[in-house]
Amino acid sequence: MENKQYISALDIGTSKVIALIGELIDDEIHIVGIGQAQSRGLKAGMVTNIDATAQAIKHAMSEAEHMADCKITNLTTGIAGNHIRSLNSQGVVKIKDGEVTQADIDRAKETAKAVNIPPDHQVLHTVVQEYIIDNQPGVREPIGMSGVRLDTRVHIITGAVTAMQNIQKCVQRCGLVVDDIMLQPLASASAVLTEDEKELGVCVVDIGGGTTDIAVYTNGAIRHTAVIPVAGDLITRDLAHALRTPSSSAEYIKVNYGVALANIEGLDDMVEVPSVGDRRSRQISRRVLASVIQPRVEEILELTLNELRRSGFPEEVLTSGIVLTGGASLLRGIVELAEDVFDLPVRIGVPPEMAGLSERVRNPRYSTVIGLLQAAKERNPRGQSAGVPNRRQPKPQPVIEEPEYENNRYDQHDEPKESLFVRIKDWINKTL
């Protein structure tokens, strides 16, 4: 059998698990396997049921392996959740022999990492922002430069030890090995941002199912990361409550007919809304759907804006504006709504074109897993051997359970803004 080389990535989300397999051909990624399963056992990005999460991972990986006709052993996966913390730090060392070497850089980074972190946390990433040699800032490749003093500025990201261990346990139960765990907003940013945007100042906002992930770049380097546990699954819940429809129907309506802005044109067409139990279905206009969805999307965007201001990155430093990605970024009207909230230019971030099955994943829903696949290639440029061809059929899709949400860091509400929500429910009741 031809010795092919593969890389693999796994996005373990609150609403879905996505597996990607890429074949490395002439140093390029060719996507050859895609698998997806409804996610259960997670809440706001954190594992709450290891068995259920492992079942979803096994289904997604089996589907991707069957499509790629190979057996994967190692992968890169992501992490998010309200436990994620980040800070900027600086380390200073004296340059030995008057010329910067790799040893000097390593010592400076270790000095910068000497910060207090909670005992139940561990460092997930230490990302270099810039080097300063003898008070000369903005140095990015210091090796070989002359000087006396080397400063290193870094962005440190930490996460709960147990959260990382639980992800590894879920993957290991599927007979797989985790090569690396990457913060999801960093993965999304690497997939959708341009170097010019990072240089001028930009914030990527990945609105997923359980979390909204934020990454801020200025002067070409990461400056701030955060995870907000308010995201697309709450939009689904709002629709289910307001329309009195099952959660599965609410999710379908959101994905296929959802609108984030109620005052745009062309929202008078009607959508059939199934009822709970044996009650007859109803016809609801898309404008009514928008009236339910818009308050929650506004809340997500306003929480993001508050996080940016709290962390010292107000709108004026984000010259390139906001890049929205993730499944909820596909809601019609969300760009216009975000431009109104942030008072900045906004675009939708889509993963780059790749060889193979690229068109299947050129969608904001796949931004995180594409970024993870790129990280897998950087970590292991030669990939892994294919092993034996995989002939297993994927197991039946696990049944999704509606998650519950709670949060102790952000002012998260289980219902949208009360007055509007009540008015919509009253209007719907009158139409019955």
pLDDT, position 312: 87
Per residue, what are the HEC states of the chain? CCCCEEEEEEEECCCEEEEEEEEEECCEEEEEEEEEEECCCEECCEECCHHHHHHHHHHHHHHHHHHHCCCCCEEEEEECCCCCEEEEEEEEEECHHHECCHHHHHHHHHHHCCCCCCCCEEEEEEEEEEEEECCEEEECCCCCCECCEEEEEEEEEEEEHHHHHHHHHHHHCCCCEEEEEEEHHHHHHHHHCCHHHHHHCEEEEEECCCCEEEEEEECCEEEEEEEECCCHHHHHHHHHHHHCCCHHHHHHHHHHHCECCCCCCCCCCEEEECCCCCCCCEEEEHHHHHHHHHHHHHHHHHHHHHHHHHCCCCHHHCCCCEEEECHHHHCECHHHHHHHHHCCCEEECCCCCCEECHHHHCCHHHHHHHHHHHHHHHHCCCCEECCCCCCCCCCCCCCCCCCCCCCCCCCCCCCCCHHHHHHHHHHHHHHC
pTM for this structure?
0.86
Q: Name the pairing type of β-strands 46-47 and 42-43.
A: antiparallel
Low-confidence ranges of the chain (pLDDT < 70): 1-2, 381-432
pLDDT, position 416: 45
271 sits in which H/E element: strand 270-273
C-alpha dihedral (120, 76, 363, 337), degrees to nearest 10: 10
pLDDT, position 426: 58
- In terms of Cβ atoms closer than 10 Å to its own Cβ (0-12, 13-18, 19+), residue 400 is middle
pLDDT, position 396: 41
CB–CB of 112/123 below 8 Å?
Answer: no
Structure tokens at 287: 């404008």
d(CA 338, CA 398): 35
pLDDT, position 241: 94
Number of H helices, E strands in the chain: 12, 20
d(CA 280, CA 425): 17
d(CA 123, CA 327): 28
Contacts of 347 (CB under 8 A, 6+ apart): 321, 322, 323, 324, 335
Q: How far is CA 3 from CA 213, 322, 384, in A?
A: 38, 43, 10
All structural domains of the chain: 1-71+350-401 (3.30.420.40), 85-158 (3.30.1490.110), 194-349+403-432 (3.30.420.40)
User: Any idea what the Cα angle at residue 204 is, between residues 407 and 295, rounded to 5°?
Assistant: 50
